[in-house]
Structure 1
Amino acid sequence: MKNNTYGPAGRYRIHKVLGNTNRTGLWAYRLDTPININKTNYHMKCWRWYYSEPNSTLWDVGLPSCPCLKSQAAKDYNFIPEVLPSISTDLIKTLRRLQGNGTTFQSTLPNGYSAGLRCVYDPEGYLISGFRDRYFIYDPDQRGVQDHIGQVYGTLHFSMFDGQEYTFKGLGEFVIVRLSSAKGANVFTLQGQTEKRQLENGYANTTALVRLAAFYQGTLKVEWRISENRKDLLTLVDDKQVEFKKYVVYFSQNGFSLLKLEEKKVAIVYSCGLQVSVGMGEGAILQAVVLIPQTFLYKTLGLLGLWSTSKGDDFTQSNGLVLSFPENILPNEENLYNFGLSWIVPAPESLFVSKQSMEAWKAFKPTFTSALMTAAAPTALQDANLTCSGLIQCIHDYLMSNSSAMGRQTTKLFNDFKQLVTLYGKNSTISSDVSLVGGKVLL
């Protein structure tokens, strides 16, 4: 082809010539040299990464929204204080100080595309910017916190998702909460095991939680239990104890993460936003707080009730029947007892490795609050009332355990929970002038 420029098979007609690939018009050329043959082609690696990434419109799917306030983010286990890479920590902190002394939280778990979320708050605690690891979209419709919270504590009190308070002193294994999917299939269950309380003068006819177990479909079983010496809270994943190393506060698996909040308090956070925190307190008993995302509205059952934004159907039994109470007058503890018993865990569904004694559980007769108040000495009632400032749950636990420390603990748990509900219920807006510039929310 040297002297043939435009003719058949000429140098400008190579598409008509059999190439070195043995195909007409298809030629392959080496773009590197033998000297560079063992060197990494970073340009090619970058393009391979680019084409292997999912569509950018999916990067933020499943990520939680930034809470409006720093105080909310600090209590929301979907977020943890930002973890910076050690190699650039000082530089990042210096750059951020130039923009103001803000506080940054990051999402505890990534979504299915390995993306995360960061939320930045000003010194006064208001959200000033929120960005996902790849990009951020501010949704002006999500101005309020859209989660609901339930609690089980003391011996044995419940704060339901719709705000109803009641006491149920059942003995055995019970469904604390069960969540279902949009199609009605069970996707999560939290079960609790109770035992009779031991006093100096024998067993009292009340119960408290000593074990809790959670299981979300597609993940592993997680259990909290009290140690044999009744001094420590143990956390197990698939019946194997988790040892939290020094300075390591979390343990992650696919779909969930465990966070050691305090020496005797461990929380689990699932990728869907569901959170369960379990603590061990005075008297070697467990307390649990459950926070559920809005996707489970009308999809909760168990001792924490049906979350429907109405208290009228809270006491839905396992057979679907609703224990109604006209004129918003809550049934007494005796009448609520059968509601609680309806949520005994059937043996095939138990998450605990233990022998069940269904007959003994149903035969157990607790001392109801009305009988306790009648039997208590006037001086004991006066002391309990003074210690508890009139809070009935505290008075109950004080008298039942003969311990002022137990009563004060119940009061603290009750008040902490109410503060948490109030905190999450703050309908704080960011600003009507928020705009998105360069991947950040600016005022």
Structure 2
Amino acid sequence: MLFRFIYLIVFVFATVYTVPLDEFFPFGIENGDSAMSASNSSTNYIDLPYDIPYFDDFYTEISILANGLFALSSLLTPYQYIYPQPFPLRSNDSIIAGYWYQGYHNQIYNNRTEIYYQIHSNTTNSSSSQRAFAKANEYIQKYLSTQRTFQPKMVITSTWLSIGSAEPNSSNTFQIVLTTDEERSFVFFLYHQLQWANPDNSSFYRVQAGINHGRRNISISLPHTDTDDIVKLVDESNVNVPGLFVYRVDTLDVNATRCAENASTISFRPRLGSQLGSTSLIIYGPCFTNRTQIQCRFETSRIVTGFVLDQNRALCLTPFVSKHHSGPVDISIDNGQTFLSAGTFLYLPVQFGSNEVTVEVENGQKLPNAGDYVTVKWQFSNRVKNIFPNGAVIDIELWQVRLNSLSQLDIASKSVVLASNLPMMNERRVRMPEDILTGFIRVVVRLHSNVYAGIHSDLLVMNSSSNSAAESCRKWADQQTDPADWNDGSLLPCPMTTDQVKRAGFCCYEPETHCYKNSPNSNNCWLHKGRSDRHESSAVECYTSKYSNAHGASAQCCYDDNGMIITRGTGAGTDDRYRPTSTPLQHFFHDFVPYLQCCIISTDFETCNMYMTYRPPRRGSNTMGDSGRMWGDPHFGTLDGFSYTFNGYGEYTYLAISNKSSPAADFNANGQSYVFLSQIRTLPIETNGPTVTKAFAARSFDSESKPISLTTDSRHSIILHRDKQVIEWEKDINKIVFPELTIVRENDYQYQFSWNIGVTIVVNIVRMTSPSKQFVLDIGAFISGDFSRKTYGLMGTYDSNPDNDLRASNGTIISKNTSIKQIHEDFGKSWAIDPSTSLFIYNSDKTAQWFSDQNRNFIPSFTRPPSNHSSHRATCGINPILPETSWSSAQRTCYYDLFITNDADFAKESLKAGKQFESMQIRSPNYPLFHSNLPLRMILTANEVVELNFTTIRDDSANITLSSIHLPPHSTLNTFTGIFHWTAITGDDYLSVQAHDQKKNLTTKHDIAFHVKPAGRSNTNNFKATKFLFIILTIIHLLH
């Protein structure tokens, strides 16, 4: 197809208005370029470090031709491009022509003739490469603002400097730039000076400029191509910059950056931003004029007036919303008379740890006082900075917020302006106002009344007097219910040690951003400093549970510098009434602010005791989750540690979890109920060859849940959907929180999906280069121990018994010692999904039913590769004389994948994944445990008698010795019987008992904090840990 475009003609009267040389991408020998010899007509075809997607094909090499063009296909020789030809060209021609003229360049006409070229890769750190990457990114953001953030992996530049001709004192200077991130590709043409077009007066071979893909029959011709007026390219543009042309060239839908005069559709970017508002939405589609009147309608009722940036772009700011969610956006270009639907916007919840706007408190304080000066620092993204006009100023605002009775965020009707009309800068010292307890700082950029962007700090808490904080704490305590009403047994205990928490981390726990080991932040863990006068341990790292119970609560676990859990004092973690990640606002106002008021700002020890009563610390346990994995070609490791290979072709149940306490043996996705369901899609590497995993989909089954899917396509794209909406990441966002799910993007090649129920799926994207270039998914499943005996699918039956892991969907257990073929036929194929239960998105003729048919018809090879290939053994780290029966599962899968694909890097990724699976099967040792009925805190009355049994609950208790670390005055601990005896004395004290496993050399301890009131005072919070508790514990111990 031949694309024709209308170009903006820019009339100029001097060459000063063309692209100046200092606007070119870095070029010349001094910038690391290679110079083409005057005797050469082209470079040889150069292998590229990354593939170039070009009109839905991929190219791996390039030749730079002296007569003004790039050639991408080595099927044709440079000699065939001596003479320019009008577009479109023949089937194999894939070229990018900046100024394709007849013949070769030489120095006969002009001794200043030079041609430079360079391939910049993100694996190099040269200053010129870094400038090239920055400039490519800047061009995309500036001239293609509809594009999401672009991070190039490769930039190819070629510069024709002062190319002479037979015409005296005339020369041409221009540059071609091709850049890609392997998913998108862009071409820039830069023209500095064009003084000759047809020096030989040829009527057959006129200069051509543009883009051509012969096989797809796609071409783009620049203005005046094939005419003597082509020198006027210096005066024209498709981005309103004379001499500059910018194109996206990776898809069949050619993006020539132009708006549409009579557009019937309209859209915007970005598609997500903070619920606090002021995200800049760049609107595009129609052509805008100075008479266009923009209005944006959010949530069908909130109207925001926008304004035009230029012919191609307009802008609206998102409003503040009281809760995070997705909502529709409609846009009007006729002042609200009519609206066009533009899609949905995802309002992200308030996240803590933002670095967009930070607030530094002076004099070593942690919280700002009213009237104190603070330093506000901020950083706008490059995407946003590119829309700021000359003369723009900065305002700094403080907005007061509170939580209303519906647990939604309310914002004050008017801000407090801390500074205004500031020139463009990145920090400012400002004074905090009076009478504001909680709020956030917003930094906005405006020109007159038009606000271009706003960014925000974390929610802030103002300091107050100790007495005022204590009074607020008491009011909060008066409104609290018994913790047993919301922190019931579905919240797991904290792991006893950091080794255990890291093993369970993927499924169940995540590090806290304000308290993690080896943090460079001087304020790290400041909220969890133990009180030295009370001999309390300080935390060096804390974790929060990834899942919440039916009440939305979660657990916080903190650890000392020995990696042991802390359960006493302000160094300990406490139960959170609201999980910080999924309900951050409720957590902030109901957990975090009261903690500050009760334990940090207030100096009254009683108020901190009050907080610990209603937000109790969580005890330690040997609890850990388990994990399974699939990787490579594809290999599976079950949740119980059994490994096997299944080369299916189709869509399969990866992991399903029943919501029944005693689920059925057989699986029926339609007729049974589940708390979680996930599926995979596998495809052959080549026709009828071995298969690999190409897609993953999953959902939980609470009321707000929607399915998610991650797929790879033939263009090396990673496509993420939630329901039917594509999620497109912005550069500065790596976490998205939904009601049931948190998605974390660690980098472009790893995604973590954590459901609140206690399931985390980690997807790694692995690059394969042989026998063809493509992406493959490596998928790990991490689940809570609560789901033991409730799982189905290719991840096996999770019950600590690997012998029954190969349970087919009909409930039949296949022997783990059976053949690969029988595993394939009787187990693997049985887990093909019912097409009616598919969670995938289908964009082609390959439907769920089509994949179901492939599963039935596909027959893989069941032949094992010979084990005597020495180079394969070396690649996979296998001793040359080691028999195959002694190989590890990681070595076996590496060797198999290398034999099948001949791709050493892919095999090494399999080796790495296999080793990770093996390491996860090595369980952390079980530490000695005290009985779970032993309290962590006791509120007593003076002279009350306390007797507790500290005998541990291990089968090998004969190896356990007890000792006291600290005893209250006049108390006793019998280290042989484990009996503690004390007559309570008024005041605050604690008990710390240590248990040591002599055989395994493992030590743990149990602390109890005592708060003893004077005799005669009411004790409403007595946990009844007296002789009655002693009797119960003794009975339980005897039963055990």
Q: What is the TM-score with the length of structure 2 in the denominator?
A: 0.34
Per the alignment, residue 25 of structure 1 pairs with none
Q: Distance in 2 between matches of 1:249 and 1:71?
A: 26
Question: Matched residue of 1:436: which SS?
Answer: strand
CA displacement at 1:109 relative to structure 2 = 4.8
Question: Matched residue of 1:259: which SS?
Answer: strand
Q: Distance in 1 between matches of 2:746 and 2:854?
A: 36
Higher mean C-alpha displacement, 394-403 vs 219-228? 219-228
CA displacement at 1:311 relative to structure 2 = 2.5
Q: Distance in 2 between matches of 1:249 and 1:49?
A: 35
Change (3 A) 1:240 1:345: same
Which structure 2 residues correspond to residues 162-181 of structure 1 after superposition, within 5 A?
162-181=640-659
For the pair 1:286 / 2:766, whether they are aligned, the reply is no
CA displacement at 1:148 relative to structure 2 = 2.1
Q: Distance in 2 between matches of 1:165 and 1:103?
A: 34
CA displacement at 1:92 relative to structure 2 = 6.0
Per the alignment, residue 401 of structure 1 pairs with 901
CA displacement at 1:91 relative to structure 2 = 9.2
Higher mean C-alpha displacement, 203-212 vs 100-109? 100-109
2:752–2:761 contact (8 Å) kept in structure 1: yes
Question: Matched residue of 2:841: which SS?
Answer: coil
CA displacement at 1:138 relative to structure 2 = 4.3
Change (3 A) 1:245 1:150: same
CA displacement at 1:156 relative to structure 2 = 0.8
The partner residue of 2:710 within 221, 224, 228 is 224
Q: Distance in 2 between matches of 1:234 and 1:105?
A: 31
| Counterpart AA for 2:526 | K
For the pair 1:256 / 2:741, whether they are aligned, the reply is yes
For the pair 1:277 / 2:762, whether they are aligned, the reply is yes
CA displacement at 1:74 relative to structure 2 = 4.2
For the pair 1:132 / 2:619, whether they are aligned, the reply is no
Per the alignment, residue 333 of structure 1 pairs with 820
Higher relative contact order (CA 8 A, sep 6+): 1
For the pair 1:364 / 2:849, whether they are aligned, the reply is no
The partner residue of 2:494 within 49, 66, 69 is 66
CA displacement at 1:382 relative to structure 2 = 2.0
Q: Distance in 1 between matches of 2:491 and 2:730?
A: 28
Per the alignment, residue 121 of structure 1 pairs with 559
Change (3 A) 1:269 1:387: same
For the pair 1:312 / 2:803, whether they are aligned, the reply is yes
Per the alignment, residue 79 of structure 1 pairs with 509
1:54–1:113 contact (8 Å) kept in structure 2: no
| Counterpart AA for 2:853 | E
Higher mean C-alpha displacement, 289-298 vs 92-101? 92-101
Per the alignment, residue 33 of structure 1 pairs with none
1:162–1:314 contact (8 Å) kept in structure 2: yes
Per the alignment, residue 831 of structure 2 pairs with 343
Question: Matched residue of 1:130: which SS?
Answer: coil
Per the alignment, residue 695 of structure 2 pairs with 211
Change (3 A) 1:319 1:234: same
Per the alignment, residue 915 of structure 2 pairs with 415
For the pair 1:155 / 2:630, whether they are aligned, the reply is no
Per the alignment, residue 436 of structure 1 pairs with 1008
Higher mean C-alpha displacement, 89-98 vs 211-220? 89-98
1:175-233 Cα deviation digits (max 9, x unpaired): 111111225432221100011114xxxx4621111100011112111212225521x54
Q: Distance in 2 between matches of 1:47 and 1:112?
A: 27
Per the alignment, residue 302 of structure 1 pairs with 793
2:547–2:758 contact (8 Å) kept in structure 1: no
| Counterpart AA for 1:333 | I
Change (3 A) 1:123 1:84: closer
Per the alignment, residue 240 of structure 1 pairs with 725
Q: Distance in 2 between matches of 1:278 and 1:400?
A: 23
| Counterpart AA for 1:306 | T
Q: What is the TM-score with the length of structure 1 in the denominator?
A: 0.76
Question: Matched residue of 2:754: which SS?
Answer: strand
| Counterpart AA for 1:289 | G
Question: Matched residue of 2:908: which SS?
Answer: helix
CA displacement at 1:243 relative to structure 2 = 3.5
CA displacement at 1:245 relative to structure 2 = 4.1
Please give the root-mean-square deviation of Cα atoms over the aligned residues, in Å: 3.3
Q: Distance in 2 between matches of 1:93 and 1:343?
A: 50
Count of matched residue positions in the alignment of Structure 1 and Structure 2: 379
Which structure 2 residues correspond to residues 37-48 of structure 1 after superposition, within 5 A?
none
CA displacement at 1:172 relative to structure 2 = 0.2
| Counterpart AA for 1:335 | Q
Q: Distance in 2 between matches of 1:382 and 1:83?
A: 47
| Counterpart AA for 1:67 | P
Q: Distance in 1 between matches of 2:1008 and 2:472?
A: 32
Higher helix share: 1
| Counterpart AA for 2:715 | N
1:324-348 Cα deviation digits (max 9, x unpaired): 35xxxx1121111111111110111
Q: Distance in 1 between matches of 2:853 and 2:762?
A: 31
Question: Matched residue of 2:653: which SS?
Answer: strand
For the pair 1:188 / 2:616, whether they are aligned, the reply is no
**Stretches of 4+ aligned residues off by more than 6 angstroms:** 42-52
Q: Distance in 2 between matches of 1:155 and 1:286?
A: 10
Q: Distance in 1 between matches of 2:925 and 2:713?
A: 38
Question: Matched residue of 2:573: which SS?
Answer: strand
Higher mean C-alpha displacement, 248-257 vs 347-356? 248-257
| Counterpart AA for 2:765 | M
CA displacement at 1:351 relative to structure 2 = 1.0
Q: Distance in 1 between matches of 2:822 and 2:628?
A: 21
Question: Matched residue of 2:743: which SS?
Answer: strand
Can you give the 5+ residue segments of structure 2 that lack an aligned partner in the other structure? 1-468, 516-521, 567-571, 577-613, 664-672, 769-774, 879-886, 930-993, 996-1004, 1012-1040
Can you give the 5+ residue segments of structure 1 that lack an aligned partner in the other structure? 1-41
Q: Distance in 2 between matches of 1:112 and 1:244?
A: 30
| Counterpart AA for 1:392 | R
Higher mean C-alpha displacement, 390-399 vs 44-53? 44-53
1:389-423 Cα deviation digits (max 9, x unpaired): 2521111100111111111111100111222232x
2:710–2:718 contact (8 Å) kept in structure 1: yes
Higher mean C-alpha displacement, 62-71 vs 392-401? 62-71
1:297–1:307 contact (8 Å) kept in structure 2: yes
Q: Distance in 1 between matches of 2:525 and 2:1010?
A: 18
The partner residue of 1:197 within 685, 701, 707 is 685
CA displacement at 1:282 relative to structure 2 = 2.5
Q: Distance in 2 between matches of 1:289 and 1:421?
A: 13
CA displacement at 1:292 relative to structure 2 = 2.0
Q: Distance in 2 between matches of 1:91 and 1:164?
A: 41
Q: Distance in 2 between matches of 1:45 and 1:303?
A: 53
Q: Distance in 2 between matches of 1:44 and 1:125?
A: 36
The partner residue of 1:56 within 483, 496, 505 is 483
Change (3 A) 1:411 1:43: closer
Question: Matched residue of 1:342: which SS?
Answer: helix
1:341-399 Cα deviation digits (max 9, x unpaired): 111101111111330323333211112242xx15x9x6xx2211221125211111001
| Counterpart AA for 2:925 | K
Q: Distance in 1 between matches of 2:917 and 2:747?
A: 17
1:144–1:428 contact (8 Å) kept in structure 2: no
CA displacement at 1:237 relative to structure 2 = 1.4
| Counterpart AA for 1:161 | L
Change (3 A) 1:50 1:285: same
Which structure 2 residues correspond to residues 18-37 of structure 1 after superposition, within 5 A?
none
1:174–1:344 contact (8 Å) kept in structure 2: yes
